[in-house]
Structures are given as C-alpha cells and as structure tokens.
Amino acid sequence: MNYIIREIEPRDNAAVEAVIRACLVEFGGDRPGTAWMDPDLGRFSEVYRSEGRKYWVAENESGRVVGGAGVGELPGVPGVCELQKMYCLPEARGTGAARRLMAEALAFARERYEKCYLETFGNMKAAHRFYEKHGFHRIAEPLGRTGHFGCDVMYLKELKGGAGRRIEPCSEDDIKAVADGINAYNASQVPFTQPRPWVDMSRKVVDENGKIIAGCSAVMYGWRVLYVELLWVDEPWRRQGVGLELLRAVEDEARRQGAYLAHLDTFDFQARGFYEKQGYALFGTLEDVPPGHRRYYLQKRL
C-alpha cells in the first residue's frame, strides 16, 4: 500500500478525529485523562497552524485518512516538544505509514526543539516497541502539563544528537559489548533456539608433528544455523580429501547439536565448485569484489 504523507487540511479534521477515537476505543482510552476528552480533537487544521506546531496525515490510495501524527510545544518545559495524537488504524499498521509519519514529525522537531516527549498507554505494546526503535527511552515521571493523567507510560528522545558524542576505535571488550547488544536485540525479536548466541564449531587438522595443515573457522548462531567463515588447507595437502574431511566434521558436529542450515561464501578464485559438490547451492553473488572478480554466497540444508 502506498500512502501520501501530507500536512493536515480542514477537510481532514473529521477523519482524523474518527481515527483517533477508534484507536482510543480499541485500547480502552475512551475515558477522562486521555485525548478522548480534548476539546480541540476535531479542529486540528486550526490548532496546528501556529509556529512550532504541525500535524500530518497518512492518506491511502483511495484518498482515505488512516493515520496521523503531530508535534507541538510541551507546556511548562522549554525546549521540549511533544509527539501528539499519533494513531494509525489497524489496516495501516506494519505498512510503513507510521514510520513515515514519525520521520516527518522528528525532522520538524529537530529544527525547533532539543527533546521530544510522548505519553501512551501501558497496553499499547507494539507502540512501545515502535517508539523505542526510533530512539525514545522510557522515563519514570510525566513532564509538562498535558492534562493526560490517564496515560501511564512516558517516553523521551534527545533530538540534538551531536553534543558530547564521538566515534572511537573499539577494543576487544568494546566489540564484545556491541555483540552482546545485538544478541540481546535479536533474541528479543526472535527468541534463540540454542543455549548460547554463538557456539564455536571451529576445527583443525594437524600432522604427526602437531603442525596445522588445515583449519575451519565456523560458528553456530542464534537459531541453530551454521556459518562457515573460513576453510583453509595448506598447499601440499590439497586435493587429498583433507578439506572434505574437515568440512564434514564441522557439519556433523553442527548437525549433532541441532543445526538445520549452513551457509558460507567464497570467491571465484577459491572453491565454489568444491562446495557445490558437497551440496551447497548458490543464493547470491557480489559483483566486482575484488575488482574484476565475484564473491559467491552458498547455502545447504543439513
């Protein structure tokens, strides 16, 4: 579905009010202390005409208003605006309409305010995730004088992102912290099916003197998926079945621990044919990497 995101016009007032009231009823917000009681609910084209305020609507392909969002000053708190009356009908949720409304609102707010505040209901869990995805963090106490004592969840977002922020090289501990962060996020979206986010599957082949003649760096991650990062066989031992033995050992261990899929990549001057003989199938190609060559991406059901 394609949506037009535009500023509100007088002809939209009734439709916007209907959207907001429908959403309030859906989440039990048709009561005192919420937007349900706001006297200006049906005249947003007038209310959001003054400096520092603006309201946008999402219009579907048939010309119907299915959502809206506004920005206005937060009474009693200088430099802070409020994200106001952001609602979308069920048919518009998950379609990108809310994301585009949010983008318009934040772009407008950044030019005029230092922070953005919002209030919502505790049972609007999907909205909480949406706000957090856009950089809002929950705060314990309400700000300003919104009059919405019926809202029990508050969020705040910094709009002036540059102050005190800098980019530095990462240490090993920093990289671990980043990995821990993305692992926590991934698990919150799609729960892991293995005890640890990353399970090392790396193996090596040594000769009678203990010298490494081949090695494979591999990991089973998140949802019991095997990623073969590197496979190397020393020149004198190539074409003797060492690489095949090593790859099978890694796959067998991953399979034993419940892996159902393996994937890897290789260059056109490396071992695509070898992997395809072992049941891997091409699913992607990166052209001109390195210049004049290709990088291939392959997968295999275990």
Torsion on CA atoms 257, 258, 264, 270, rounded to nearest 10: 60
pLDDT at residue 159 greater than cutoff 80:
yes
Residues 92 and 215 in one domain: no
CA 229 to chain centre: 25
Do 220 and 120 belong together in one domain?
no
Residues 141 and 207 in one domain: no
Instruction: Answer yes or no: is pLDDT of 160 > 90.
Output: no
The CATH number of whichever domain residue 91 belongs to comes to 3.40.630.30
Statement to judge: residues 26 and 149 lie in one domain = yes
> What pLDDT does 164 receive?
54
Asked if residue 180 belongs to a domain, the reply is: no
Q: Looking at the structure, tell me whether residues 10 and 105 fall in a common domain.
A: yes
Q: How does strand 153-158 pair with strand 115-120?
A: antiparallel
Provide the residue range defining the domain that includes 276: 190-301
From 112, 141, 158, the end of a domain falls on: 158
Whether residues 206 and 131 share a domain: the answer is no
Q: How many CA atoms lie within 13 A of 212 on its CB side?
A: 9
Same domain, 200 and 284: yes
* Percent of all residues in the chain with a pLDDT value above 90, rounded to a whole number: 85
Residue 296 covered by a domain: yes
Domain boundary among 143, 158, 173: 158
Provide mean pLDDT across the span 275-288: 98
Quick one: 252 and 126 in the same domain? no
Tell me the average pLDDT across 201-229. 97
- Contact indicator for 231, 246 with CB cutoff of 8 Å: yes
Q: What is the pLDDT of residues 52-76, one digit of tens each?
A: 999 999 999 999 999 999 999 998 8
- Mean pLDDT estimate for the chain: 94
Give the mean pLDDT of 129-148: 92
Does residue 85 contact residue 68 with C-beta atoms inside 8 Å?
A: yes
pLDDT value at residue 243:
96
Task: Give the DSSP letter string of 129-198.
Answer: HHHHHTT-EEESS--S----TT--EEEEEES-TTTT-------HHHHHHHHHHHHHHHHHHS--SSSSSE
Question: Do 9 and 124 lie in a common domain?
Answer: yes
- Average pLDDT for 199-207: 97
**Is pLDDT larger for residue 218 or for residue 164?**
218
124 token code pair: 């609007």
How many domains would you assign to the chain? 2
